[in-house]
A and B are shown apart, each in its own frame.
Chain A
Amino acid sequence: MTSFETVVGLEIHAELATRTKIFCSCTTAFGGDPNTHCCPVCTGMPGVLPVLNQRVVEYAVRAGSAMNCEIAHFSKLDRKNYFYPDLPKAYQISQYDLPLCKGGWVEISSGKRIGITRIHIEEDAGKLIHDNVARRTYVDLNRCGVPLIEIVSEPDMRSADEVHEFIEKVRTILLYAGVSDCRMEEGSIRADVNVSVRPFGQSAFGTRTEMKNINSMRAIFRAVEGEAKRQSELISAGGRVTQQTRRWDDNRGASKAMRGKEEANDYRYFPEPDIVPIRLDDARIDEIRAQLPELPDARKIRYAQLGIAPADAQIITASRTLADYFEEAARLSGNAKEAAKWIVGEMMRQLKERSLEPEAIPFPASYLAQVITLCETGRVTTANAKNLFSLLFESGEEPAALVEKHGLAALDDDDALDAAVEEAVSRNPKSVEDFLAGKEKSFGFLMGQCMRSLKGKADPAVLREKLTQRLEALK
């Protein structure tokens, strides 16, 4: 049987994190009672006119710059005409032939660049609830007019894994750029997935199908795999793929052709007469670009110069919040390597255990910096520092206060250390004998005994020194 290569292109719709809708001053806040975040403009009442939200343009340009796009000096909005009750004007204001951004790319971990064909701005539609018993559909227009960017990729992805990685990368970039919250569960990022297959080695693309509006990463992943499999099997069995829109049913794990949509493609796009064009000169584009923070790829390069392992840098930069946190902790402690170690290790473990996002870290980076300093100066032992870190998560109190409260300070009392060494030596004659006979392992056991009686509060280096001296004396 021929084996097939999967070819995927995406259209990602991401909601922009503006305060107001794209063409009116209604809030974009998620939720709210049905039809309460609406006005005559976003419900398309007769005689009203759209007025473009300036921040939508800024955010789209930021996103485009972050994905290495060329920003259009001249851009316009167009109407896309189709009837559906979630679209009150019966046209969506979008961009057709002159999008704000085009021709960019995003690099995934293999170093491969996934092409970005274009990024344009448009308005979201409302929500429908279908009641099959009452045979009625209920319309909530709260989401109508929420600003979106549509990011159209080239058909450059070759596996579900690449698709997954690409979307994650786009998400990260949008979060860094501060233009979208990218909350999948609120539908603030979703994708239309175009899939085709071709025999390996063939350069021409196969016929593609499109699955619209998939809104979870898992479903997108499964949709790519499922549709590629369906097409491969179809071709292997002598069949032909028809170009069509299919609906991905994630519960059944299969796609299904949508019926009765043959006219849906004649959108009769034409320039939006109610909105004048957008002109951006280089100065303005640079001004918007300057609002962009340093992006993950640039940070990774800089972190490598600080001696951070690439794998750790990858984990840290996956979230802008985490990366900013790291940089703050590194700056305040003056020890980037330790800051990275803490974040990749304990921080990630704690977040995972508690199912928290980096945004929910309950204490500031300055606390982590203090922990690092406490360790470095021997004020807290490594073992106790981990306990201290857990306590920070639970209480959010200052590290110094916690050390005090829970007695976590390392002992700098010589007598106590000497007594512990003495006790360990006298109670474990067999181990002492073994050590003197050359069994190095016994040293570790004796160290452990000392530490136990000191309840872990000793600086291991000092203790080791004392125990060594005591045993040397017995030789």
Chain B
Amino acid sequence: MKLWELSVKSAGELLKKREVTAAELCDAQYERIEAVDGGVKAFLSLCPERAHEKALAAQKCIDGGEAGPLCGIPMGIKDNICTSGISTTCASKMLEHFVPPYDATVFKKLEAAGSVMLGKCNMDEFAMGGSTETSYFKKTSNPWRLDRVPGGSSGGCAAAVASGEAFFALGSDTGGSIRQPSSFCGTVGLKPTYGSVSRFGLVAFASSLDQIGPITRTVADNAAVLNAICGVDPRDSTCADVSHPDYTALLGREIKGLRVAIPKEYLGEGLDAGVRDAVLRAAKQLESLGAVCEEVSLPATDYAVPAYYLISSAEASSNLARYDGVKYGFSAEGCKTLAQLMNRTRGEGFGREVKCRIMLGTYALSAGYYDAYYKKALRVRRVIKNGFDAVFEKYDLIIGPTAPTTAYPIGSKSADPVSMYLGDIFTVPVNIAGVPALSVNCGFNGDGMPIGLQFIGPAFSEAKLLQAAYAYEQSAGFSKMPVL
């Protein structure tokens, strides 16, 4: 087995047993990147020298016997998570040369745990998109088939993890941006409960929906990363002051009696037959493990996508207003007046999808439309949340597909924005309700493309989600990696 094929857990064991050094792991990753990233194009930037230093520091901890499970493990970080002294571009021309003077809390925590950052991963511009095609810099490919999209917006992260270019990665999920690319790339992606992971240093897309989470190759690895990044942060007022359990504690416990709901709205029209079959097979698999699966209804599901696009675009229109060419980032040349500077900076610096969302959000908040669109969407938000709450009164978890399709060919879906938005139908309700959800591979379709199974739980039920996903993963066993 090659070093880059290892899970975080097994690599950590080798490090502890001194069978490999942190520097060797780091070098193996850069070799792998060198070998395959020309095709996958998962990374926007690499920082090998810095990584090498961090690996040496991690080795000291390992040698001193004080290493945690992530110490010396190489990782990728989505390029909307601020890293002090390292450019953080959000895959936008607007921030092409932006080097933040501060770290995101999650990055600080991972570095403190000894993880070694290899570089920053590609994404849709400002995390707006579901295919990583809106990146200003490059289009990332799906490691399973290079002519397919990796999903998005954390497409670079999922592709890097799936292809063995990183042991794990941190992505962000506003409407499915961790889970959908995980589904497309066959990785494990978790969107934690809103408020369980600090957003400080995550370049905001939609503040009330954004959440950072881990993308890994195994469920156990995911739990280990979540352990390292969760927790209250005095710099994020929306972070909940709750005590987090050890998320690896329930892994391996049997799930006999687990009450699982399958919303019929998640199996309806527009769902690929291959995806439906795989999800139903997964349900059977869970039943064979002792879970009780029943069909339920989440009636407001159809309203989740419009509500999501209104809320997220409204917040984005405000969050992205700060990019005006004055304080940082791109600034249009040769302007005679301030108004010109702002108008041209924003006209030239943002890509088309970002402009479209800013305009939708501006419209939804503008005089005369606020009540009909934005406020209505906030009411629908409560209806959707109530729908989940009602299901969780009777069930431990919900399962369903992560995305209605598998990864599609690059360039095939950009034309119609509404059909593009409908690809988020199963993921956005989760962000709207603020609950946690996880995508785990549940097989492959006829083209050999991975299919994602989504587990959704009530707020702060990550331990149970991971337990169920782990039980499923162990018994269903789709652990192959793409051939590159």
Q: Which A residues lie at the B interface, using CB under 8 A?
A: 40, 43-52, 79, 81, 83, 85, 88-91, 135, 137, 139, 265-266, 268-270, 273-276
Interface of chain B residues 56 through 96 with chain A (CB within 8 A): 80-82, 88, 90, 95
Question: A residues within 8 A CB of B326?
Answer: 85, 88, 139
**Are the C-beta atoms of A47 and B235 separated by less than 8 Å?**
no
Known A83-B342, A88-B327: A274·B207 in contact at CB below 8 Å: yes
Binary contact readout B311-355 vs A (1 if CB under 8 angstroms, 0 otherwise): 000110110011010111100000010100010000000000000
Question: B residues within 8 A CB of A81?
Answer: 317-318, 321, 365
**Cβ 8 A contact of B322, one of A44, A139, A266:** A44
The smallest beta-carbon distance between A218 and chain B, in angstroms, is 31
Provide a sorted-by-A list of 13 A–B residue pairs whose CB atoms are within 8 angstroms.
A40-B102, A45-B327, A46-B203, A47-B81, A47-B201, A48-B200, A48-B235, A49-B235, A49-B238, A85-B326, A90-B321, A266-B366, A274-B238
Question: B residues within 8 A CB of A268?
Answer: 317-318, 362, 365-367, 370
**Cβ 8 A contact of B318, one of A137, A270, A276:** A270
Question: A residues within 8 A CB of B102?
Answer: 40, 45, 47-48
**Are the C-beta atoms of A90 and B238 separated by less than 8 Å?**
no
**Are the C-beta atoms of B201 and A85 separated by less than 8 Å?**
no
B208 proximal to A (CB < 8 A): yes
Besides A49-B235, A275-B238, 12 new A-B residue pairs in contact (Cβ under 8 A), listed by A number: A45-B327, A46-B98, A47-B82, A47-B204, A49-B200, A51-B235, A89-B321, A89-B322, A268-B362, A270-B315, A273-B207, A275-B237
**Are the C-beta atoms of B201 and A48 separated by less than 8 Å?**
yes
User: Which residue in chain B gives the minimum CB-CB distance to A275?
Assistant: B237
**Are the C-beta atoms of B100 and A46 separated by less than 8 Å?**
yes
CA–CA, A266 and B317, complex, Å: 14
From A79, A85, A139, A268, name the one whose CB has the most chain B CB atoms within 10 angstroms.
A268
**Are the C-beta atoms of A51 and B362 separated by less than 8 Å?**
no
B104 proximal to A (CB < 8 A): yes
Binary contact readout B344-385 vs A (1 if CB under 8 angstroms, 0 otherwise): 000000000000000000100111001000100000000000
**Are the C-beta atoms of B374 and A49 separated by less than 8 Å?**
no
CA–CA, A137 and B200, complex, Å: 31
The smallest beta-carbon distance between B361 and chain A, in angstroms, is 9
Question: B residues within 8 A CB of A269?
Answer: 365
Question: B residues within 8 A CB of A40?
Answer: 100-102
B236 proximal to A (CB < 8 A): yes
The smallest beta-carbon distance between A22 and chain B, in angstroms, is 12
The smallest beta-carbon distance between A145 and chain B, in angstroms, is 14
B234 proximal to A (CB < 8 A): yes
Known A46-B328, A48-B201: A90·B322 in contact at CB below 8 Å: yes
**Cβ 8 A contact of B237, one of A44, A47, A49, A266:** A49
Known A81-B365, A270-B365: A137·B338 in contact at CB below 8 Å: yes
**Cβ 8 A contact of B327, one of A44, A83, A91, A273:** A44
User: Which residue in chain B gives the minimum CB-CB distance to A266?
Assistant: B367
**Cβ 8 A contact of A51, one of B234, B317, B366:** B234
Question: A residues within 8 A CB of B367?
Answer: 265-266, 268
**Are the C-beta atoms of B328 and A273 separated by less than 8 Å?**
no
User: Which residue in chain B gives the minimum CB-CB distance to A51?
Assistant: B237
Known A268-B366, A273-B207, A274-B237: A47·B322 in contact at CB below 8 Å: no
The smallest beta-carbon distance between A275 and chain B, in angstroms, is 6
User: Which residue in chain B gives the minimum CB-CB distance to A82?
Assistant: B321
Closest 9 CB pairs of A and B: A90-B321, A268-B365, A273-B207, A273-B208, A46-B203, A47-B203, A47-B82, A47-B201, A266-B367
